[in-house]
Structure 1
Amino acid sequence: MRFLFIILSMFMLTGHAGAQETQRVVVTQDNYAAPIAPHEEPNARVQNERDEISEYWNLLGHRLKITDTLLVLFTLLLSFATGALWWSTRKLVQGADRTAERQLRAYISVDNGPIAFRQAKRALFEFRLHITNNGLTPANNVRIISNVAITNSNIPIGFDYSLTDLPMSSPFRSVTSVAPRQSMFHSRMVKRMPVSELRLISSGENIFHVWGQVIYDDIYLRNRQTNFSFIIFAARRRQEAVWHRTEEHNNSN
């Protein structure tokens, strides 16, 4: 009986100690959790609100996220830089094409040549103009048209150099091609000159005026034009004729 009482007493003591320990743990947890709930949660909420405020800004009345706004601005800047680079590259390519065209295209020039004089019943003068392609590519569909007149040595400023009075079937119009660095000649004649007029030319009172234009196409299919105008002092016997370019109508494109 005494032994049973001792065991029962030990069991009660053990249970009482376990209850106290359990209570102490629970109380400890409550004491630890109690201060956190009322103090830590509001601080975390405030901190989150501050973080959200720092990630956004107001722009023109709109609340925009800073990182997204910066990303859009960077994308726009990159697009602008890409467009500027494309434009610059395009300009460089166009400039290179124009330079190559200027270097390779045909350039037609007109220079004076010899004069042939024959006299039978009436005097006849033949003027030959040298047509030269100074370019590196052929000049195609070369069309030459010219006119000649007998006048005094003073060609007035604003002289009418038009050649519209010569039809397409005119014998003074020719069509051909000129290879690079090659020349051809264009002949223009004055027929049926009376002796009285020949004397005025021999004395220098009158001169010959030859003018015209050369129209051609280069390899880039661009239409080009070279204008020419010469006054010619006919030579007396054993003298060479003198050619001079007039102040106007000696240009090209």
Structure 2
Amino acid sequence: MLRPLPLLMAALLGAASAASVQLNLPGRQDRAWLLCDSLSTPEVLVVGQPDAGGRAEITTLSKAQPGRYSYAAWRVGRPDPGAGNVYYSLTPRDGSAASSTSPDNIRLINPGVAANPQLYSASGVPVLSSITLQGQTRRCRLAPGLRVLAVTERRSVMITQDAQGRFRYQSFDNAAFRPGDVQTTLGDSLAQSSTPSLSIVGGTRLISPAGERYTFTHQGYTYTLSLQSSGGSLSVQRGSTPLQSEPLRAVLTGDRPG
């Protein structure tokens, strides 16, 4: 017997309840469901929270043209699980025809199929593999131990935590984006990322009532990712001299690490 759609939506949203996605654009701040840092196209997709009828908005942030955003209305279908995947069909709500080449959908993966399931499930971050819109598939940045995936108008930043508890900071400059630059990890069929512009191992985190702060140092520079309920920022300083600060336009955060 089919379950009522509101119950299905509650189930799919509840699966990611330990994680949160925040959209912070000029004049528009909202909670969302999924964040896809595309490895296939120069863009970031933020999928809004579907309502009881499956209606959701997908926001696209351009990497090629910083500060350019677009919005499209979609309907999220019922979950279709199988072989370790869960697909959610996507149907445009503007009356345009569905793709005839490849079905539009969201593909999530059960973390239990990973070589190290604990690294994918501990933070509660959805294991989002791809989003297909208008027949074009965007592979989404994904890594074991993902704690934070943040997006500014100039770069993406990913913070992961390994099995030994060490934090790793990786940034990916938009100016260096190449659609064919997709890296996988030997022995891990789920991980997919690209060549980082900067990688630092051994950062620290501070948790306070105001939010979280991750700090990493490298060759005299300090990189600080600050997370608050209203968004956050990425700042860089050399010694005690501030060099730059970039607001986070979209951010995915997992459950707080222990």
| Fold agreement, TM-score > 0.5 | no
More helix per residue: 1
TM-score per shorter chain, which class?
A: under 0.3
| Max Rg structure | 1
Q: What TM-score, normalized to structure 2?
A: 0.20
Q: What TM-score, normalized to structure 1?
A: 0.20
More strand per residue: 2
